[in-house]
Amino acid sequence: MNWGGPEFVIAIIALSTVGWLINNWIRAKHGYSLEDEWGGKTERSDTAETKALKAENRQLHDKLDAMQDRMVVLEKIVTDRGYSLHDEIEALRDKPSASDAGVPLNLKRGETA
């Protein structure tokens, strides 16, 4: 190959152009601003579809956060040591008066107060 010939210059230009195209393709794929021929940046404009998708994404994240909070509460209820709701209700029914309301019940498995 002749290092000073036109083939070498054309090969350098072709490689530079291909590298620039690949660089811009990767940047566009990942949402970065694109470079023009002189090193300037071209920002992506948000289309109506992109804005709608971002708003929907925000709503779905909010719903997911609310569901996670509810799941934490449900897990606490189910894994709580005193998850004998049926026994507590039955103990309250058997109680003759409500004079000592607020006092914890002494429940044992299979027995009512």
Given this model, what pLDDT does residue 97 score?
Answer: 58
Distance CA 89, CA 95 (A): 10
User: Is residue 54 domain-shared with residue 39, that is, in the same domain?
Assistant: no
Largest Cα span, the chain: 108
Q: Answer for the pair 79, 61: CB distance below 8 angstroms, yes or no.
A: no
Question: 10-residue block means of pLDDT along the chain (113 residues)?
Answer: 80 92 84 70 72 92 94 81 67 65 58 49
Distance CA 16, CA 37 (A): 11
* Domain membership flag for residue 110: no
Q: Answer for the pair 95, 103: CB distance below 8 angstroms, yes or no.
A: no
Is-above-0.85 flag for pTM?
no
The number of domains in the chain is: 2
- Domain final residue pick, 28, 44, 60: 44
